[in-house]
Amino acid sequence: MAATVYVLNGPNLNLLGKRQPEIYGKDTLADIEAACRALAGELGLELVFRQSNHEGQLVDWIQEARERADALIINPAGYTTTSIAILDALLACSIPILEVHLSNIHKRESFRQHSYVSLAATAVIAGCGSHGYLLALRHAARLLAAR
């Protein structure tokens, strides 16, 4: 059976491509999903791709991924720096967790530079734009092949 990778996206990422392209790029979230689906197909992975503006919804999906996924890719967006609830949900997972940020958060305002999510992440990709999702997917495939 194909391994399943969940890709979860946090608040305001539904606005990608519509504002601030100089920071987040021109791709919409639908573009990113399509690119992830194409690569997942090549890599033989099942993909679940979701976005929510709500912390509790993201916690529910992380708990779902804990039961159903083989790896989890997450861009927690604004919850990166605030959410102990998301961190706790991630810490309860025993699958690889890949944290993705479109922008290089370490080069930005200091409040963006501390990630609670990184405490649970297997790896972090920041500053590669939408390509970061594809790098994360490839890394997930590599980790899963080495199991």
Residues between 10 and 39 that touch ligand CA2 (CB under 6 A): 12-13, 15-16, 19-20, 24
Among residues 68 and 107, whose Cβ is nearest to ligand CA2? 107
Among residues 59 and 101, whose Cβ is nearest to ligand CA2? 101
103 scored as a contact of ligand CA2 (CB under 6 A) = yes
* Segment interacting with ligand CA2, rule: CB under 6 A, options 37-45, 47-55, 56-64, 72-80: 72-80
The question of whether 131 is a catalytic residue gets the answer no
52 scored as a contact of ligand CA2 (CB under 6 A) = no
6 scored as a contact of ligand CA2 (CB under 6 A) = no
How many residues form the binding site for ligand CA2 (CB under 6 A)? 16
Q: Which of 90, 88, 56, 85 is nearest to 73 (CA)?
A: 90
CA atoms within 13 A on the CB side of 63: 9
DSSP states of 76-139: -GGGGGT-HHHHHHHHT--S-EEEEESS-GGGS-GGGS--SGGGT-SEEEESSTTHHHHHHHHH
Q: Which of 131, 135, 8 is nearest to 75 (CA)?
A: 8
Smallest separation, CB 77 to ligand CA2 (Å): 4
Length of the chain: 147
- Pairwise CA distance, residues 141 & 77, whole Å: 23
Among residues 134 and 144, whose Cβ is nearest to ligand CA2? 134
Helix (H, G, I), strand (E, B) or coil at 72: strand
User: Annotated active-site positions, please?
Assistant: 24, 101
Residues that bind ligand CA2 (CB under 6 A): 12-13, 15-16, 19-20, 24, 75, 77-78, 80, 101-103, 105, 112
